Structure 1
């Protein structure tokens, strides 16, 4: 059996960082196991290619949640990255850290070292922000963050003026002094290519002789000696293999796969393990529990002016955009569809923003089977304003279906299962219409396409967002961090309660969900977690 100092499971947003940091000083041997394959694929590297990777089984786990009463019985599609870089290789690339108070909440729940003041230096250290360094932003780090103000579609300026007239402040930087307001999103791209965690951290580290990366390697079980993790069993090319960890095993599989592997290895709720005839190595009742996620919906309008639909829909437009991208690495294919947006409070008595906005100068009312139709939008000019809730109170769970590691886990989201979440979403969709009613948008609008002008009453609006809402791909907290093993899975140093030599370092450890996109915080969790590992193994 081969022996490494550290074995990391999962080469995603956090795992790529952990692998780079633990191998940097050359003292330790590191093995990184990834179930997916290479990220050197055109539609992974091209920013707008996430429309093609949305359902591509070559790079995507393509999970499906359980039919959800809160979503009118729909079984939501849950894409998760199965590729080097993980979900940072297939996401929409918006770089938002989260509200500072979110991280202070983490600290105040008994997790010293995880407050905003603790994490701000880590956020700055990982960034190479094109807009420049200041008190809040970093420059010179591995993750290039592009300032897109010069490149967004002209309709984005109309959205910003309309949102401002509706009462929202203009905000130059959601990662700066204040999060609230509307502005242009910063993206994780560089020179027209996606800046995933693999590109930023893992690819440079793979040149080191002390880091070994195994792809197409599905971790099936953690190996134990008593209550100490000592290795990993994995399947690769039809063979079952085992490797030994001299120091630690680190799970970085994300909020779906990390709790799944723990449960498959005998760490989880005792009743679940008994149900599947599994021997418990350690009862940990919170493994897979506390699932939180952001839910989103788009309102869509037909426009009187051309939008990106007229460029990306016809063959000649595709050819023009493709040539612009291939020759210059510019144009819509070099960006995200979420070019503008921001944060607002649905009611003035909220202490901080509880809703996030997304403006898209294109529309996809007409569906296309088998893909997210970003590269084949509607044949008429359209645009959308989307939103997602920042701090939902609805909580779900993730649980194995059987002892078979090849069986996808059950994902129970419990969307809109609280009156709080329903009420704030109702307030939010009404505010979307308030933005659209302002002159900069009203002047170029022909009609509302979704949900349509006939949808007016509260009951109709609620029925609509239950039917059309879905995940915005930010699941967290299924192995959450906290001091009490009855309420959490890992402690503040990300060590699994009750088990030696085992940590979880990914977004599943978030004590609660943050306001905004989760990739930046997942990367910083990787950097912070790796620092803790190095401190404990000095």
Structure 2
């Protein structure tokens, strides 16, 4: 215990896991909690609007604006890697898609030596966090803070795509989050009444007046404080003014898979060669910090559509005005769409037990993935993404100055398993798009286009045009001490550093099969429960 502590727990980062932690750790009234968030309050007009992610992903106010280092394997392009910079973190700027993943994902974590992280063990925490408004079986939650609903707005072109998938032999799936992921249908969203439900909206705002919870925005963490080997506090700045806060029980990093490892390294915890290169004294050697970086890397296929019924037309001029009014009054309409509208989870090889590729379909198209400016002519876009990337990169500091963004190296498509999956996924996507139910809508394939025919062509296109899906994980990997790359144990305590935990997506030892926000929220729930259990021990 720190003798001069003001707080019991300090949480660094009010993101997808951090907001859950702040809620659960203050619930019983026994513990004083300080929540530090570097960004501003979540007051933007665009945040409640699901389709507002188009604006937020390029916002300089609500997004950290990280980019990867250019790499030969992906056309020497810097690739945008947005991260939320506000209350709610990335759950406030993402595409609001709710995807738990597959039971296999969590059973794999358990098999790697992480006790209590099997699917059976984590399912109660998924259920605890959500209220699934569409019913479902007993795998779904009915009274949690997080609103989860199926996309309510239907569209003839989207329906036709699901029909086309079924015509090619792929099943429909009414609920891909109940443990059986394979098939096609409409995505589920972290939304209620057509409005985004970020973790700040669900977990933080309802409890922000608790006497034992203090929330500081604009609080940029610069390092950890120690008493000997033990972490006892956080140094940070507010409006350029240096501050320190001390925790009697624990410091909890929930800054995300980019900045949690960055803070560890800035504080002297990490691979000695990385720290010494930046003139940082090695406090505790932990070579796995910043390693094991994984992300979903996908590419997009586009088709011109024969009828003016796509978002390209519905979000222009008078049509847009009508949709804004409709959404404002009823929560209905195209402004309630997420980043993907139709999901698809498919197996690219018959011998696989579970899907290895995910599709996101939207009846919209844009030529430039960076600006996300919609085309004037009608179009549709299918994103193709391998689910369980085996390509691993790294995230490391490149300066002892906390304001300097770290070096992000994705190493995308470096593993042949990922290459084979994305190539086969693109072939399947083309086969579905060419099926009879889409004949009235499909004009022609714009990209990669008919000249893309061989496996080598598909691979080259994916390398030159692919983007990440902003699902950064793994950089503070969970695992037993015998795993030389593990950073935290199965109770999320940093190996060899008492008083310090990491509770966010960086602890994932492998990628989950789909969008990562649901898993990050679950980690916040389970991490909170373990912290409270250990406090009572």
Report TM bin, short chain: over 0.9
In structure 2, the partner of 1:358 is 360
List 4+ stretches of structure 1 deviating above 6 A. Answer: none
Q: What pairs up with 1:316-355 in 2 under 5 angstroms?
A: 316-355=318-357
Q: What pairs up with 1:79-478 in 2 under 5 angstroms?
A: 79-148=82-151, 150-365=152-367, 367=368, 371-373=371-373, 377-478=374-475
The alpha carbon displacement at 1:340 in A equals 0.9
Contact kept in structure 2, 1:152 and 1:339, CA below 8 Å: no
Report the number of matched residues.
Answer: 532
Contact kept in structure 2, 1:31 and 1:212, CA below 8 Å: yes
Structure 1 unpaired stretches of 5+: none
The alpha carbon displacement at 1:250 in A equals 0.1
Work out the CA distance in 1 between the residues paired with 2:311 and 2:491.
48
Query: Which range moved further: 441-450 or 14-23?
Result: 441-450
SS of corresponding position for 1:271: helix
Q: TM-score, normalised by structure 1?
A: 0.97
Work out the CA distance in 2 between the residues paired with 1:321 and 1:70.
41
Contact kept in structure 1, 2:102 and 2:179, CA below 8 Å: no
Contact kept in structure 2, 1:394 and 1:415, CA below 8 Å: yes
The alpha carbon displacement at 1:132 in A equals 1.5
SS of corresponding position for 1:537: helix
SS of corresponding position for 1:222: strand
The alpha carbon displacement at 1:368 in A equals 8.2
Contact kept in structure 2, 1:313 and 1:379, CA below 8 Å: no
Cα shift readout 1:179-205 (whole Å, capped 9, x = no counterpart) = 111111110111121100000001112
Query: Which range moved further: 76-85 or 152-161?
Result: 152-161
In structure 1, the partner of 2:64 is 61
Work out the CA distance in 2 between the residues paired with 1:70 and 1:201.
40
Computed over aligned residues only, the root mean square deviation of the Cα atoms, in angstroms, reads: 1.3
The alpha carbon displacement at 1:155 in A equals 1.2
Work out the CA distance in 1 between the residues paired with 2:283 and 2:369.
46
Contact kept in structure 1, 2:53 and 2:339, CA below 8 Å: no
SS of corresponding position for 1:125: helix
In structure 1, the partner of 2:33 is 30
Work out the CA distance in 2 between the residues paired with 1:187 and 1:231.
36
Structure 2 unpaired stretches of 5+: none
Contact kept in structure 2, 1:265 and 1:281, CA below 8 Å: yes
Q: TM-score, normalised by structure 2?
A: 0.97
The alpha carbon displacement at 1:433 in A equals 0.7
Work out the CA distance in 2 between the residues paired with 1:446 and 1:133.
37
Cα shift readout 1:308-341 (whole Å, capped 9, x = no counterpart) = 3354442111111111112222101122141111
Work out the CA distance in 1 between the residues paired with 2:131 and 2:180.
20
